[in-house]
Structure 1
Amino acid sequence: MRKAVALAVLLCATQAHAQFASSIALLSDYRYRGVSLSDGQAAAQLSLSYDAPSSGGYAGAMASNVRLSREDAVQGMVYAGIARRFAHDWSWDVGVEYTQYTGHYSYRYAEVYAGVTYRHIGARLYYANDYFGLGRPALYAELNASQNLGERWYIFGHAGVLQSNGAYEDRRRNDYRAGFGLTLASFDFQLGWTTFRGSEYTGYPVAAGAGRSALVASVRYSW
Protein backbone atom coordinates (compact mmCIF):
# COMPACT_ATOMS: atom_id res chain seq x y z
CA MET A 1 0.00 0.00 0.00
CA ARG A 2 2.80 2.36 0.76
CA LYS A 3 3.91 2.31 -2.87
CA ALA A 4 0.39 2.90 -4.13
CA VAL A 5 0.21 5.98 -1.92
CA ALA A 6 3.58 7.19 -3.21
CA LEU A 7 2.45 6.77 -6.82
CA ALA A 8 -0.78 8.64 -6.07
CA VAL A 9 1.21 11.49 -4.56
CA LEU A 10 3.40 11.58 -7.67
CA LEU A 11 0.37 11.81 -9.94
CA CYS A 12 -1.24 14.49 -7.78
CA ALA A 13 1.97 16.53 -7.80
CA THR A 14 1.68 17.02 -11.54
CA GLN A 15 -1.76 18.61 -11.34
CA ALA A 16 -2.45 22.32 -11.32
CA HIS A 17 -3.75 22.69 -7.79
CA ALA A 18 -1.99 22.63 -4.45
CA GLN A 19 -3.51 20.63 -1.65
CA PHE A 20 -3.14 18.94 1.67
CA ALA A 21 -4.53 15.42 1.82
CA SER A 22 -4.91 12.76 4.45
CA SER A 23 -6.31 9.26 4.65
CA ILE A 24 -6.81 6.31 6.94
CA ALA A 25 -6.73 2.71 5.72
CA LEU A 26 -7.45 -0.79 7.00
CA LEU A 27 -5.64 -3.72 5.36
CA SER A 28 -6.13 -7.44 5.87
CA ASP A 29 -2.33 -7.86 5.56
CA TYR A 30 0.38 -5.20 5.21
CA ARG A 31 2.66 -6.39 2.41
CA TYR A 32 5.84 -4.39 1.82
CA ARG A 33 7.79 -5.28 -1.32
CA GLY A 34 6.04 -8.63 -1.32
CA VAL A 35 6.69 -9.55 2.32
CA SER A 36 4.22 -9.21 5.19
CA LEU A 37 5.22 -6.63 7.78
CA SER A 38 2.15 -7.46 9.90
CA ASP A 39 2.80 -11.21 10.24
CA GLY A 40 -0.19 -11.94 8.01
CA GLN A 41 -2.51 -9.95 10.29
CA ALA A 42 -4.59 -6.82 9.77
CA ALA A 43 -2.99 -3.37 9.82
CA ALA A 44 -4.19 0.21 10.17
CA GLN A 45 -2.44 3.12 8.47
CA LEU A 46 -2.56 6.91 8.54
CA SER A 47 -1.15 8.96 5.64
CA LEU A 48 -0.61 12.70 5.19
CA SER A 49 0.58 14.49 2.05
CA TYR A 50 1.06 17.92 0.52
CA ASP A 51 1.88 18.99 -3.02
CA ALA A 52 2.75 22.41 -4.45
CA PRO A 53 2.55 22.39 -8.28
CA SER A 54 4.01 25.89 -8.56
CA SER A 55 7.35 24.45 -7.49
CA GLY A 56 6.71 20.77 -8.18
CA GLY A 57 7.47 19.92 -4.58
CA TYR A 58 5.64 17.36 -2.51
CA ALA A 59 6.03 15.78 0.93
CA GLY A 60 4.22 13.39 3.21
CA ALA A 61 4.26 10.91 6.05
CA MET A 62 2.79 7.49 6.83
CA ALA A 63 2.41 5.42 10.00
CA SER A 64 1.37 1.79 10.29
CA ASN A 65 1.28 -0.91 12.91
CA VAL A 66 3.65 -3.79 12.10
CA ARG A 67 4.73 -7.09 13.64
CA LEU A 68 8.39 -8.02 13.21
CA SER A 69 10.07 -11.03 14.82
CA ARG A 70 6.78 -11.69 16.67
CA GLU A 71 6.93 -8.25 18.26
CA ASP A 72 4.30 -5.54 17.77
CA ALA A 73 5.74 -2.22 16.64
CA VAL A 74 5.00 0.91 14.61
CA GLN A 75 6.49 1.89 11.26
CA GLY A 76 6.89 5.60 10.59
CA MET A 77 7.94 6.97 7.20
CA VAL A 78 8.45 10.53 5.90
CA TYR A 79 9.31 11.56 2.36
CA ALA A 80 9.88 14.66 0.23
CA GLY A 81 10.62 15.22 -3.43
CA ILE A 82 10.03 17.23 -6.55
CA ALA A 83 8.10 16.27 -9.70
CA ARG A 84 8.03 18.05 -13.05
CA ARG A 85 6.54 17.52 -16.50
CA PHE A 86 9.02 17.28 -19.34
CA ALA A 87 6.73 16.30 -22.24
CA HIS A 88 3.05 15.70 -22.95
CA ASP A 89 1.78 13.04 -20.48
CA TRP A 90 5.33 12.53 -19.16
CA SER A 91 6.80 13.59 -15.80
CA TRP A 92 9.82 12.77 -13.65
CA ASP A 93 10.42 12.94 -9.95
CA VAL A 94 13.28 12.59 -7.45
CA GLY A 95 13.13 12.41 -3.69
CA VAL A 96 14.22 10.92 -0.42
CA GLU A 97 12.41 8.99 2.29
CA TYR A 98 13.30 7.92 5.81
CA THR A 99 11.78 4.93 7.61
CA GLN A 100 12.03 3.90 11.24
CA TYR A 101 10.46 1.16 13.33
CA THR A 102 9.80 1.14 17.05
CA GLY A 103 10.44 -1.91 19.16
CA HIS A 104 13.41 -3.96 20.27
CA TYR A 105 15.24 -3.93 16.93
CA SER A 106 14.46 -0.31 16.00
CA TYR A 107 15.25 -0.71 12.30
CA ARG A 108 15.93 2.58 10.51
CA TYR A 109 17.23 3.61 7.09
CA ALA A 110 17.01 6.25 4.37
CA GLU A 111 16.44 5.78 0.64
CA VAL A 112 16.81 8.08 -2.34
CA TYR A 113 14.73 7.50 -5.43
CA ALA A 114 14.11 8.69 -8.98
CA GLY A 115 11.17 7.90 -11.22
CA VAL A 116 9.35 8.62 -14.45
CA THR A 117 5.60 8.54 -15.13
CA TYR A 118 3.63 8.24 -18.37
CA ARG A 119 -0.09 8.72 -17.80
CA HIS A 120 -1.02 5.91 -15.38
CA ILE A 121 2.26 4.01 -15.65
CA GLY A 122 5.09 4.83 -13.27
CA ALA A 123 8.59 3.41 -12.72
CA ARG A 124 10.94 4.13 -9.82
CA LEU A 125 14.41 3.13 -8.66
CA TYR A 126 15.30 3.28 -4.94
CA TYR A 127 18.73 3.06 -3.35
CA ALA A 128 19.58 2.55 0.33
CA ASN A 129 23.18 2.54 1.51
CA ASP A 130 22.28 0.86 4.81
CA TYR A 131 19.08 -1.10 4.19
CA PHE A 132 17.10 -1.59 7.41
CA GLY A 133 20.16 -0.38 9.29
CA LEU A 134 21.88 -3.74 8.85
CA GLY A 135 24.91 -2.51 6.92
CA ARG A 136 23.75 -3.85 3.54
CA PRO A 137 23.23 -1.61 0.48
CA ALA A 138 20.13 -2.36 -1.59
CA LEU A 139 18.47 -1.39 -4.86
CA TYR A 140 14.74 -1.68 -5.46
CA ALA A 141 13.11 -1.12 -8.87
CA GLU A 142 9.36 -1.07 -9.35
CA LEU A 143 6.77 -0.61 -12.08
CA ASN A 144 3.19 0.41 -11.24
CA ALA A 145 0.21 0.74 -13.57
CA SER A 146 -3.54 1.25 -13.37
CA GLN A 147 -6.42 1.42 -15.85
CA ASN A 148 -9.88 2.86 -15.31
CA LEU A 149 -12.86 0.63 -16.10
CA GLY A 150 -15.54 3.28 -16.18
CA GLU A 151 -16.10 5.98 -13.59
CA ARG A 152 -15.64 3.90 -10.42
CA TRP A 153 -13.85 0.66 -11.20
CA TYR A 154 -10.19 0.22 -12.06
CA ILE A 155 -7.52 -2.46 -12.25
CA PHE A 156 -3.93 -2.17 -11.09
CA GLY A 157 -0.65 -4.04 -11.29
CA HIS A 158 2.79 -3.89 -9.71
CA ALA A 159 6.14 -5.62 -10.27
CA GLY A 160 9.31 -5.03 -8.28
CA VAL A 161 12.78 -6.45 -7.77
CA LEU A 162 14.94 -6.01 -4.67
CA GLN A 163 18.70 -6.58 -4.89
CA SER A 164 20.48 -6.63 -1.53
CA ASN A 165 24.27 -6.87 -1.45
CA GLY A 166 26.25 -8.30 1.45
CA ALA A 167 29.83 -9.06 2.34
CA TYR A 168 29.53 -12.72 1.37
CA GLU A 169 26.56 -13.02 -0.97
CA ASP A 170 24.02 -11.12 -3.02
CA ARG A 171 20.31 -11.77 -2.61
CA ARG A 172 17.41 -10.97 -4.93
CA ARG A 173 13.66 -11.05 -4.54
CA ASN A 174 10.93 -10.32 -7.09
CA ASP A 175 7.44 -9.28 -5.99
CA TYR A 176 4.18 -8.95 -7.90
CA ARG A 177 0.72 -7.59 -7.18
CA ALA A 178 -2.45 -7.35 -9.27
CA GLY A 179 -6.09 -6.66 -8.53
CA PHE A 180 -9.03 -4.32 -8.91
CA GLY A 181 -10.43 -1.35 -7.05
CA LEU A 182 -13.66 0.53 -6.55
CA THR A 183 -13.98 4.23 -5.71
CA LEU A 184 -17.13 5.42 -3.95
CA ALA A 185 -17.13 9.07 -2.85
CA SER A 186 -14.20 9.38 -0.42
CA PHE A 187 -13.72 5.61 -0.06
CA ASP A 188 -11.40 3.41 -2.08
CA PHE A 189 -11.73 -0.38 -1.91
CA GLN A 190 -9.09 -2.75 -3.25
CA LEU A 191 -8.69 -6.50 -3.57
CA GLY A 192 -5.40 -7.80 -4.88
CA TRP A 193 -3.25 -10.90 -5.08
CA THR A 194 0.39 -10.45 -4.04
CA THR A 195 3.35 -12.82 -4.10
CA PHE A 196 7.13 -12.87 -4.14
CA ARG A 197 9.81 -15.13 -5.58
CA GLY A 198 13.44 -15.47 -4.59
CA SER A 199 15.27 -14.93 -1.33
CA GLU A 200 13.24 -14.31 1.80
CA TYR A 201 16.20 -12.77 3.61
CA THR A 202 17.06 -9.45 2.01
CA GLY A 203 17.25 -7.20 5.02
CA TYR A 204 14.24 -7.39 7.31
CA PRO A 205 12.69 -10.37 9.15
CA VAL A 206 10.11 -12.41 7.31
CA ALA A 207 6.88 -13.28 9.10
CA ALA A 208 7.00 -16.98 9.84
CA GLY A 209 3.35 -17.75 9.16
CA ALA A 210 2.45 -15.17 6.51
CA GLY A 211 3.49 -17.16 3.44
CA ARG A 212 4.82 -16.04 0.09
CA SER A 213 1.40 -15.26 -1.40
CA ALA A 214 -1.75 -13.61 -0.08
CA LEU A 215 -5.07 -12.18 -1.10
CA VAL A 216 -5.13 -8.69 0.43
CA ALA A 217 -8.25 -6.57 0.92
CA SER A 218 -8.16 -2.92 1.91
CA VAL A 219 -10.39 0.09 2.39
CA ARG A 220 -9.14 3.67 2.44
CA TYR A 221 -10.98 6.84 3.42
CA SER A 222 -9.50 10.15 2.20
CA TRP A 223 -10.31 13.73 3.15
Structure 2
Amino acid sequence: MRERRHAAVQPPALRAGAALALGLLLPLLGMGGAAAQASGSVALLSDYRFRGLSLSDGASSAQLGLNYDNPQGWYAGAQAAGANLRERDMVQLTAYGGLARRLASGWSWEAGASASHFSRARDSDYGEWYAGLASERLGLRLYFSPHYFGRDLRTAYVELNGFAPLHGQLKLVVHAGALRYLPRDGADLPARYDARLGLAAALGDWNAQLAWLAASSRGPDAGASPYYTAPSKRALVLSVAYTF
Protein backbone atom coordinates (compact mmCIF):
# COMPACT_ATOMS: atom_id res chain seq x y z
CA MET A 1 0.00 0.00 0.00
CA ARG A 2 1.48 3.35 -1.01
CA GLU A 3 1.66 5.94 1.74
CA ARG A 4 2.96 9.43 2.35
CA ARG A 5 5.36 10.04 5.21
CA HIS A 6 4.41 12.50 7.92
CA ALA A 7 6.35 13.65 10.92
CA ALA A 8 5.29 11.95 14.13
CA VAL A 9 3.03 14.10 16.28
CA GLN A 10 2.41 13.89 20.00
CA PRO A 11 -1.19 15.18 20.20
CA PRO A 12 -2.05 17.14 23.34
CA ALA A 13 -5.57 15.69 23.31
CA LEU A 14 -4.11 12.17 23.50
CA ARG A 15 -2.32 12.94 26.74
CA ALA A 16 -5.33 14.83 28.09
CA GLY A 17 -7.76 12.08 27.09
CA ALA A 18 -5.62 9.32 28.60
CA ALA A 19 -5.13 11.28 31.81
CA LEU A 20 -8.85 11.96 32.08
CA ALA A 21 -9.85 8.35 31.44
CA LEU A 22 -7.30 6.92 33.89
CA GLY A 23 -8.00 9.66 36.40
CA LEU A 24 -11.67 8.77 36.35
CA LEU A 25 -11.32 4.99 36.22
CA LEU A 26 -8.96 4.46 39.15
CA PRO A 27 -10.74 6.50 41.86
CA LEU A 28 -14.20 5.42 40.72
CA LEU A 29 -13.30 1.74 41.02
CA GLY A 30 -12.52 2.33 44.67
CA MET A 31 -15.72 4.17 45.50
CA GLY A 32 -18.14 1.25 45.13
CA GLY A 33 -21.75 1.76 46.08
CA ALA A 34 -24.97 -0.14 45.53
CA ALA A 35 -25.80 1.68 42.30
CA ALA A 36 -22.31 1.45 40.79
CA GLN A 37 -21.98 -0.90 37.84
CA ALA A 38 -18.94 -2.60 36.36
CA SER A 39 -19.32 -4.62 33.17
CA GLY A 40 -17.34 -6.11 30.35
CA SER A 41 -17.71 -7.69 26.94
CA VAL A 42 -15.85 -9.91 24.50
CA ALA A 43 -16.71 -9.72 20.81
CA LEU A 44 -15.72 -11.10 17.44
CA LEU A 45 -16.32 -9.02 14.29
CA SER A 46 -15.98 -10.22 10.71
CA ASP A 47 -14.48 -6.79 9.87
CA TYR A 48 -13.52 -3.98 12.27
CA ARG A 49 -15.05 -0.92 10.64
CA PHE A 50 -14.50 2.53 12.12
CA ARG A 51 -16.54 5.37 10.64
CA GLY A 52 -17.11 3.28 7.53
CA LEU A 53 -13.48 2.28 6.89
CA SER A 54 -11.72 -0.90 7.94
CA LEU A 55 -9.18 -0.87 10.78
CA SER A 56 -8.52 -4.59 10.29
CA ASP A 57 -7.77 -4.57 6.53
CA GLY A 58 -11.02 -6.43 5.88
CA ALA A 59 -10.16 -9.29 8.26
CA SER A 60 -11.88 -10.43 11.46
CA SER A 61 -11.13 -8.72 14.78
CA ALA A 62 -11.43 -9.86 18.41
CA GLN A 63 -12.25 -7.21 21.01
CA LEU A 64 -12.38 -6.91 24.80
CA GLY A 65 -14.11 -4.06 26.63
CA LEU A 66 -14.36 -3.01 30.30
CA ASN A 67 -16.71 -0.31 31.62
CA TYR A 68 -17.51 1.34 34.92
CA ASP A 69 -20.54 3.55 35.68
CA ASN A 70 -20.61 5.62 38.86
CA PRO A 71 -23.90 6.57 40.62
CA GLN A 72 -23.05 10.28 40.22
CA GLY A 73 -22.95 9.91 36.42
CA TRP A 74 -19.20 9.57 35.91
CA TYR A 75 -18.07 6.71 33.73
CA ALA A 76 -14.83 5.29 32.38
CA GLY A 77 -13.66 2.31 30.40
CA ALA A 78 -11.16 0.75 28.06
CA GLN A 79 -11.17 -1.45 24.96
CA ALA A 80 -8.56 -3.64 23.27
CA ALA A 81 -9.16 -4.53 19.61
CA GLY A 82 -7.24 -6.38 16.94
CA ALA A 83 -6.26 -4.00 14.13
CA ASN A 84 -4.16 -3.88 10.96
CA LEU A 85 -2.57 -0.60 9.83
CA ARG A 86 0.00 -0.33 7.04
CA GLU A 87 -0.35 -4.09 6.49
CA ARG A 88 0.85 -4.84 10.03
CA ASP A 89 -1.18 -6.67 12.68
CA MET A 90 -1.40 -4.85 16.00
CA VAL A 91 -3.59 -4.03 18.98
CA GLN A 92 -5.55 -0.82 19.37
CA LEU A 93 -6.02 0.26 22.99
CA THR A 94 -8.66 2.89 23.70
CA ALA A 95 -9.40 4.54 27.05
CA TYR A 96 -12.30 6.91 27.67
CA GLY A 97 -14.01 8.76 30.48
CA GLY A 98 -16.79 11.27 30.90
CA LEU A 99 -19.92 12.48 32.68
CA ALA A 100 -23.56 11.79 31.76
CA ARG A 101 -26.62 13.38 33.34
CA ARG A 102 -30.35 12.90 32.73
CA LEU A 103 -32.54 15.93 31.99
CA ALA A 104 -36.09 16.48 33.22
CA SER A 105 -37.34 16.01 29.65
CA GLY A 106 -36.15 12.39 29.64
CA TRP A 107 -33.18 13.13 27.41
CA SER A 108 -29.64 12.97 28.76
CA TRP A 109 -26.41 14.79 27.93
CA GLU A 110 -22.81 13.65 28.18
CA ALA A 111 -19.29 14.96 27.67
CA GLY A 112 -15.93 13.26 27.80
CA ALA A 113 -12.66 12.37 26.12
CA SER A 114 -11.00 9.31 24.63
CA ALA A 115 -7.46 8.30 23.68
CA SER A 116 -6.37 5.58 21.24
CA HIS A 117 -2.96 3.89 21.07
CA PHE A 118 -1.73 1.50 18.35
CA SER A 119 0.90 -1.00 19.49
CA ARG A 120 2.88 -0.99 16.21
CA ALA A 121 1.96 2.44 14.85
CA ARG A 122 2.49 4.88 17.69
CA ASP A 123 2.57 7.86 15.34
CA SER A 124 -1.12 7.11 14.63
CA ASP A 125 -2.10 7.58 18.30
CA TYR A 126 -4.71 10.27 18.76
CA GLY A 127 -7.27 11.70 21.17
CA GLU A 128 -10.76 13.14 20.86
CA TRP A 129 -13.15 15.23 22.92
CA TYR A 130 -16.87 14.56 22.56
CA ALA A 131 -20.29 15.74 23.71
CA GLY A 132 -23.76 14.42 22.98
CA LEU A 133 -27.49 14.16 23.62
CA ALA A 134 -29.48 10.94 23.84
CA SER A 135 -33.01 9.67 24.36
CA GLU A 136 -34.12 6.08 24.86
CA ARG A 137 -33.79 5.20 21.15
CA LEU A 138 -31.82 8.06 19.60
CA GLY A 139 -28.38 9.52 20.18
CA LEU A 140 -26.38 12.41 18.71
CA ARG A 141 -22.64 12.93 19.31
CA LEU A 142 -20.06 15.48 18.18
CA TYR A 143 -16.32 14.71 18.31
CA PHE A 144 -13.28 16.95 17.91
CA SER A 145 -9.68 15.84 17.37
CA PRO A 146 -6.75 18.27 16.99
CA HIS A 147 -4.48 15.56 15.51
CA TYR A 148 -6.62 12.88 13.86
CA PHE A 149 -4.76 9.55 13.78
CA GLY A 150 -1.58 11.39 14.78
CA ARG A 151 -1.54 13.62 11.70
CA ASP A 152 -1.56 17.40 11.52
CA LEU A 153 -5.28 17.29 10.81
CA ARG A 154 -8.04 18.80 12.91
CA THR A 155 -11.35 17.00 12.49
CA ALA A 156 -14.95 17.25 13.60
CA TYR A 157 -17.16 14.17 13.39
CA VAL A 158 -20.90 14.09 14.01
CA GLU A 159 -22.91 10.89 14.25
CA LEU A 160 -26.56 9.96 14.69
CA ASN A 161 -27.43 6.53 16.10
CA GLY A 162 -30.83 4.98 16.65
CA PHE A 163 -32.79 1.77 16.89
CA ALA A 164 -36.38 0.57 16.54
CA PRO A 165 -37.82 -2.63 18.11
CA LEU A 166 -39.11 -5.13 15.55
CA HIS A 167 -40.16 -8.39 17.21
CA GLY A 168 -39.16 -9.90 20.53
CA GLN A 169 -35.43 -9.26 21.02
CA LEU A 170 -34.90 -8.24 17.39
CA LYS A 171 -34.35 -4.58 16.51
CA LEU A 172 -33.38 -2.42 13.58
CA VAL A 173 -30.24 -0.31 14.13
CA VAL A 174 -29.19 2.72 12.06
CA HIS A 175 -26.18 5.01 12.00
CA ALA A 176 -25.15 8.04 9.94
CA GLY A 177 -21.92 10.00 10.31
CA ALA A 178 -19.98 12.83 8.71
CA LEU A 179 -16.28 13.63 9.15
CA ARG A 180 -15.09 17.14 8.35
CA TYR A 181 -11.40 18.07 8.03
CA LEU A 182 -11.08 21.55 9.53
CA PRO A 183 -8.85 23.88 7.45
CA ARG A 184 -5.28 24.34 8.69
CA ASP A 185 -2.48 26.11 6.79
CA GLY A 186 -4.69 26.41 3.74
CA ALA A 187 -5.46 22.65 3.49
CA ASP A 188 -9.12 21.96 2.79
CA LEU A 189 -9.95 18.26 2.33
CA PRO A 190 -13.43 17.08 1.33
CA ALA A 191 -15.81 15.76 3.97
CA ARG A 192 -16.36 12.02 4.38
CA TYR A 193 -19.65 10.26 5.10
CA ASP A 194 -20.59 6.83 6.41
CA ALA A 195 -23.77 4.91 7.17
CA ARG A 196 -24.84 1.62 8.73
CA LEU A 197 -28.12 -0.30 8.61
CA GLY A 198 -28.49 -3.58 10.46
CA LEU A 199 -30.43 -6.09 12.47
CA ALA A 200 -29.47 -6.82 16.09
CA ALA A 201 -30.70 -9.64 18.31
CA ALA A 202 -30.16 -10.32 22.02
CA LEU A 203 -30.35 -13.70 23.73
CA GLY A 204 -29.46 -13.46 27.39
CA ASP A 205 -25.91 -12.20 27.68
CA TRP A 206 -25.26 -12.79 23.98
CA ASN A 207 -25.77 -10.20 21.25
CA ALA A 208 -25.44 -10.56 17.49
CA GLN A 209 -25.65 -7.98 14.72
CA LEU A 210 -25.60 -8.18 10.94
CA ALA A 211 -25.13 -4.79 9.32
CA TRP A 212 -24.51 -3.24 5.93
CA LEU A 213 -21.97 -0.42 6.01
CA ALA A 214 -21.04 2.16 3.40
CA ALA A 215 -18.57 5.04 3.24
CA SER A 216 -17.76 7.77 0.76
CA SER A 217 -14.35 7.94 -0.89
CA ARG A 218 -11.37 9.34 0.99
CA GLY A 219 -11.03 12.22 -1.42
CA PRO A 220 -8.39 13.09 -4.03
CA ASP A 221 -5.54 13.52 -1.53
CA ALA A 222 -5.60 10.03 0.04
CA GLY A 223 -2.04 10.41 1.29
CA ALA A 224 -3.16 13.14 3.68
CA SER A 225 -5.82 10.90 5.19
CA PRO A 226 -5.22 8.70 8.24
CA TYR A 227 -3.53 5.33 7.70
CA TYR A 228 -6.49 3.04 7.86
CA THR A 229 -7.40 0.81 4.96
CA ALA A 230 -10.61 0.29 3.03
CA PRO A 231 -10.71 -2.94 0.99
CA SER A 232 -14.21 -1.88 -0.01
CA LYS A 233 -16.34 1.20 0.53
CA ARG A 234 -19.24 -1.16 1.30
CA ALA A 235 -19.32 -4.25 3.48
CA LEU A 236 -21.63 -6.68 5.23
CA VAL A 237 -20.34 -7.12 8.78
CA LEU A 238 -21.34 -9.78 11.32
CA SER A 239 -20.54 -9.32 15.00
CA VAL A 240 -21.18 -11.54 18.03
CA ALA A 241 -20.63 -10.34 21.60
CA TYR A 242 -20.91 -11.72 25.11
CA THR A 243 -21.42 -9.31 28.04
CA PHE A 244 -20.53 -10.03 31.66
State the TM bucket, normalised to the shorter chain: 0.7 to 0.9
- The whole-number CA distance in structure 1 between the counterparts of 2:41 and 2:235 is 24
Measured after TM superposition, the shift of residue 105 of structure 1 is 5.0
- Shift of the alpha carbon at 1:56? 0.7
Q: Distance in 1 between matches of 2:191 and 2:42?
A: 32
Q: Give the CA RMSD over aligned residues.
A: 1.6
Q: Does 1:138 align with 2:155?
A: yes
DSSP-derived class of the 1:143 partner: strand
TM-score, length-normalised on structure 2?
0.80
Counterpart Cα distance in 1 of 2:68 and 2:122: 31
Q: Which amino acid aligns with 1:25?
A: A
| 8 Å Cα contact 2:149-2:227 kept in structure 1 | no
> Quick check: which one's strand share is greater?
1
State which of 21, 30, 34 in structure 1 corresponds to 2:39. 21
Instruction: After TM superposition, list the pairs within 5 Å mapping 1:36-115 onto structure 2.
Output: 36-53=54-71, 55-104=72-121, 106-115=123-132
Match of 1:207 in 2: 229
Return the alpha-carbon distance in structure 2 between the equivalents of residues 151 and 28 of structure 1: 25
Identity %: 39
Q: Which string of whole-angstrom CA distances, capped at 9 and with x for unpartnered residues, describes residues 19-45 of structure 1?
A: 100000000000000000000000000
Q: Which residue of 2 aligns with 1:10?
A: none
Specify every segment of 5 or more residues in structure 1 that has no aligned partner in the other structure, as ranges.
1-15
Deviation at 1:104, TM superposition (A): 4.2
For residues 104 and 85 of structure 1, the distance between their equivalents in structure 2, rounded to whole angstroms, comes to 38
Structure 2 residue aligned with 1:11 = none
Could you tell me which amino acid in structure 2 is paired with residue 96 of structure 1?
A
Q: Distance in 2 between matches of 1:121 and 1:77?
A: 24
Check whether the contact 2:79–2:95 (CA below 8 A) recurs between aligned residues: yes
Check if 1:221 corresponds to 2:238.
no
Structure 2's unaligned 5+ residue stretches are: 1-33
User: What amino acid sits opposite 2:87 in the alignment?
Assistant: R
More helix by share: 2
Larger Rg: 2
